[in-house]
């Protein structure tokens, strides 16, 4: 089976954008690929985050991923910092990556423009660590949302640079994009759903019924907003009802209140069993820790193999 890698940052709550844009694919692709999934906690250090919060977020994220359907019998799941090799390979890649390539990254420019103080070097070299995450396992396939396509393009550039300078060793990893390539914000319908635009802009998978009902009720309903809500409904609701509401919308007869009520119902129905599983894993944290330890152990074996070969190739051995 082909190898697949993907990662998610433990910087806050998982929302429906993460789920529909990437994590649903993570779950669905488990029987088709040799899957390696990582909670990329070292990437989270590029933002200001309290150590306790980072630790807590990482465990919660592992719980969320298991509750959404990541199956440790099929896939490896581990914390990035538990495997030695990610940063080591990133250093080797740093020495191959032109600064100009890093400076043109949209995510870097966005993050840098938000900062008032110093812009840390980690923010700039973030995509190099991401390339190392993927290539440490020589993964050919990477399921991500649209916002990560540029980073994947850079991963291919880095692989090519390595292969040209030394010898053909790394694959040129290709993205897999889900139909929901860019899920939009409830509050700012022209922006992607994101943790950084405030609570009201996203639905977290851990949000309770009252919160979800309130967030959808308050969602902006300009033309773009309605289309976004309809799109969300298409993923969680019933096909016939979706088509009915689409017809109504096209003839200007769709009541936004009806759409919001239907969407709330559909999202709550989807999240109910997920939240039950979250509660189960919250009560069984030692099981989750064990899954992460096991995942890291197996990932480490693969990482060691790659690093031994890479060191040989570049002359560090």
Q: Which residues form the interface with ligand TYM (CB under 6 A)?
A: 5-9, 17-18, 21-22, 40, 43, 130, 133-134, 142, 144-145, 147-148, 151, 180, 182-183, 192-194
**How near is the Cβ of 253 to ligand TYM at its closest, in Å?**
29
Q: How far is the C-alpha of 106 from the C-alpha of 150, rounded, in Å?
A: 8
Q: Buried b vs exposed e over 260-297: b needs ≥16 C-beta within 10 Å?
A: bebbbbbbbebbeebbeebeebeeeeeebeebbeebbe
Between 69 and 261, CB nearer to ligand TYM = 69
Between 127 and 254, CB nearer to ligand TYM = 127
Between 58 and 264, CB nearer to ligand TYM = 58
CA distances from 33 to 29, 73, 76, 141, 215 (A): 6, 13, 11, 9, 36
* Residue of closest CB approach to ligand TYM: 21
**How near is the Cβ of 308 to ligand TYM at its closest, in Å?**
22
**How near is the Cβ of 290 to ligand TYM at its closest, in Å?**
24
Any idea what the Cα angle at residue 37 is, between residues 32 and 42, rounded to 5°? 160
Q: How far is the C-alpha of 91 from the C-alpha of 97, rounded, in Å?
A: 10
**How near is the Cβ of 144 to ligand TYM at its closest, in Å?**
4
Between 201 and 254, CB nearer to ligand TYM = 201
Helix axes 106-114, 149-165, angle to 10 degrees: 120
Between 53 and 261, CB nearer to ligand TYM = 53
Between 162 and 254, CB nearer to ligand TYM = 162
**How near is the Cβ of 113 to ligand TYM at its closest, in Å?**
17
**How near is the Cβ of 147 to ligand TYM at its closest, in Å?**
5
Cβ contacts of residue 275 below 8 Å, gap of 6+?
67, 205, 206
Q: How far is the C-alpha of 50 from the C-alpha of 251, rounded, in Å?
A: 51
């Amino acid at each position: 089976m082909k190898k697949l890698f993907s990662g998610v940052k433990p910087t806050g709550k998982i929302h429906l954008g993460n789920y529909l844009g990437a994590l649903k694919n993570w779950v669905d692709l488990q029987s088709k690929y040799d899957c390696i999934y990582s909670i990329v906690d070292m990437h989270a250090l590029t933002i200001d985050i309290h150590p306790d919060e980072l630790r807590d977020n990482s465990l919660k994220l592992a719980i969320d991923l298991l509750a959404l359907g990541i199956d440790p019998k099929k896939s490896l799941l581990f914390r990035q910092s538990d495997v030695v090799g990610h940063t080591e390979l990133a250093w080797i890649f740093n020495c191959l990556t032109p600064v100009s390539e890093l400076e043109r990254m949209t995510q870097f420019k966005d993050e840098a423009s938000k900062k008032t103080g110093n812009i840390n070097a980690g923010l700039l070299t973030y995509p190099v660590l991401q390339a190392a995450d993927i290539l440490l396992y020589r993964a050919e396939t990477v399921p991500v949302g649209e916002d990560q396509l540029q980073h994947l393009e850079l991963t291919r550039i880095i692989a090519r640079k390595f292969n040209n300078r030394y010898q053909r060793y790394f694959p040129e990893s290709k993205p897999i994009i889900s139909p929901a390539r860019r899920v939009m914000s409830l509050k700012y319908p022209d922006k992607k759903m994101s943790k950084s635009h405030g609570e009201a802009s996203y639905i977290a998978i851990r949000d309770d019924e009252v919160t979800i009902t309130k967030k959808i009720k308050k969602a902006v309903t300009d033309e773009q907003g309605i289309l976004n809500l309809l799109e969300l409904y298409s993923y969680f609701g019933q096909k016939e009802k979706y088509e009915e509401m689409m017809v109504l919308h096209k003839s200007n007869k769709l009541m936004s209140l009806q759409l919001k009520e239907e969407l709330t119902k559909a999202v709550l129905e989807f999240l109910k069993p997920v939240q039950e599983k979250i509660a189960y894993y919250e009560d069984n944290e030692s099981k989750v820790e064990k899954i992460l330890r096991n995942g890291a152990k197996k990932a480490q074996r693969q990482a060691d193999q790659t690093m031994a070969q890479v060191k040989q190739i570049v002359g560090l051995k």
